[in-house]
């Protein structure tokens, strides 16, 4: 006889539904859109020194080539968020987290 507290296996449809309800596809779509509009949002000079990495929830993770650029971007953060949201016509980004890293020049 099976114990009374034993759970039945979860149905894959329920698992996928819970995953999709978490807005994962929308975040992926927003991440791709931000990546494609980044040169327009950032401008040519900044786009050479930065690169969108990912978006989790409404937080954009941005790779920045140097600490001096990272410091400059801290002052521009709210303007960048407004530009992104205006271009995407939705509140896709509420915060930006800057990460120091090498930017691939071949973009």
* CATH code at position 72: 3.30.300.130
Residue 94 lies in domain: 23-100
15 domain residue, yes or no: no
How many structural domains compose the chain?
Answer: 1
- Residues 51 and 73: beta-carbon distance below 8 Å: no
User: For residue 30, what pLDDT is reported?
Assistant: 85
pTM of the model: 0.75
Residue 75 has pLDDT above 80, yes or no: yes
Residue 48 has pLDDT above 80, yes or no: yes
38 domain residue, yes or no: yes
Q: Cα dihedral angle (12, 17, 23, 28), rounded to 10 degrees? A: 40
C-alpha torsion sign, points 78, 83, 86, 89: negative
12 domain residue, yes or no: no
Bridge partners for 60 per DSSP: 55, 96
47 domain residue, yes or no: yes
Residue 69 has pLDDT above 50, yes or no: yes
End-to-end CA, the chain: 63
Distance between CA atoms of 100 and 65, rounded to whole angstroms?
6
């Amino acid at each position: 006889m099976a114990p009374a507290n034993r759970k039945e296996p979860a149905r894959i449809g329920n698992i996928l539904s819970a995953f999709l309800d978490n807005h994962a596809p929308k975040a992926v779509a927003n991440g791709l859109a931000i990546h494609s509009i980044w040169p327009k949002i950032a401008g040519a000079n900044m786009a050479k020194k930065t690169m969108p990495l990912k978006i989790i929830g409404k937080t954009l993770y941005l790779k920045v080539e140097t600490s001096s650029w990272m410091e400059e971007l801290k002052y521009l953060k709210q303007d960048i968020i407004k530009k992104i949201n205006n271009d995407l016509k939705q509140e896709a980004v509420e915060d930006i987290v800057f990460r120091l890293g090498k930017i691939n020049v071949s973009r």
